[in-house]
Amino acid sequence: MSRYAYWIAALLFAALVLAKFDPQTGFTSLIRFGAPWQERRHSALQDLPLATVEESGGYDGQFYAQIALDPLLRNAELERVIDAPAYRARRILAPAVAAIAGFGNPWLTLQAYALLNVLCWFVLGWLLHRQLAPADDLAFARWAGCMFSMGALESVRQSLVDLPALLLLALAITAWPKPPGKRPSLWLCLASLAKETSLLGALALHFEKSPRPFPWLRVGLSLLITILPIAAWAFYVGRRFADTPSPAGFGNFSWPLMGLFAQTKQSLRELFLGNFGGRFAFSLIAIIGFLIQAAFYWHRPRFESPWWRVGAAYSLLFVFLGSWVWSGYWAVCRAVLPMTVAFNLLLPATRAFWPLWTLGNLTMLHAIWRFL
């Protein structure tokens, strides 16, 4: 595949992002501020021209963006302007980076936060392109399946934390073959501060297959280094919002496959009633893709591959996702984004490649459509 295919794909993505720019509101349409929260926004935002979604409550990015205005969580306003302060504040890395890039200016901070996912997309694209050399048709298909997946594009479209966390996890996986003493604990620490479920990827990376007796002490110390920063930050957040009722996020999980079965039942019912909206039709298509991706990992295990271990770990997470996540199947795409990326990277170049790749990536077109 010519290198121009990658340039064309990158230009397509850039065009999608630039279409969101407005001379008055900048790139704040990527944050998706909702009208119902307008009166409760941070005081620093009240006089700023922000793109606001009138017909909905917006999405999670509007809360992370307001944390970026005060990443040390000192302002009492945060308890009022964020839906779940302790839950959101644990994912501090992206807001903190935006705060630094904004130099304390609320308008610049918002723009930096909105574009952080865009920067992560290009860096991840470059990183995966290097890993997929030599460039051919299969390599480009793998790359496109990762970069234009619903999980990746939704993270950009709504300024969420999933893509930054994936990038840091990918950097850790890329550096993983180094000797044990030089392995990338820093990337894993940062990934967990971006999104706490990255700890699952860190755990999977450490439990590699080894012919020698398992190095429990070394693995334990390495995991401790990875966990300590997020544990310390979570403790601080818990103390800061001790008097603020906030869900812990456990509603995101359920008994194995219960969330999937409930979503399948609801989608089929809506389709039988004549509701052919993308939420339900593509939900069933996505479920097919998820099941193919998950089954792929356990058909032929490859414990020696860092990407396989991470993908397999997220395939187990997929089984336990609950109704809160399944309320929009694109949220599931974000939750198991590492599973999708690993699937595309590891899919064997056999006659079954194209059928499996197609079925595993059927939501790509819907992802681009939602971005328009």
DSSP letter string, 298-348: HHS--TT-HHHHHHHHHHHHHHTB-HHHHTSHHHHHHHTHHHHHHHHHH--
- 370 CB-contact burial (10 Å; exposed 0-12 / middle 13-18 / buried 19+): middle
Residue position matching structure tokens 């990183």: 127
In the chain, the number of structural domains is: 1
pLDDT of residue 255: 94
DSSP string, 194-214: H-TTHHHHHHHHHS---SSPP
CA distance 232 to 143: 36
pLDDT of residue 326: 94
pLDDT of residue 247: 61
Residues of the chain with pLDDT under 70: 1, 179-183, 209-214, 245-250
CA distance 142 to 14: 20
What's at 224, amino acid-wise?
A: L
CA distances from 168 to 68, 131, 171, 269, 335 (A): 19, 15, 5, 39, 15
CA atoms within 13 A on the CB side of 290: 30
- For CA atoms 205, 145, 334, 74, the dihedral sign is positive
CA distance 79 to 241: 7
Residue position matching structure tokens 């080894």: 210
Alpha carbon of residue 255 to chain centroid: 23
**43 contacts 3 by C-beta, under 8 angstroms:** no
pLDDT of residue 93: 98
- In terms of residue numbers, what domain contains 44? 3-371
CA atoms within 13 A on the CB side of 339: 28
CA distance 352 to 338: 22
pLDDT of residue 193: 98
pLDDT of residue 220: 82
First to last CA, the chain: 27
pLDDT of residue 182: 60
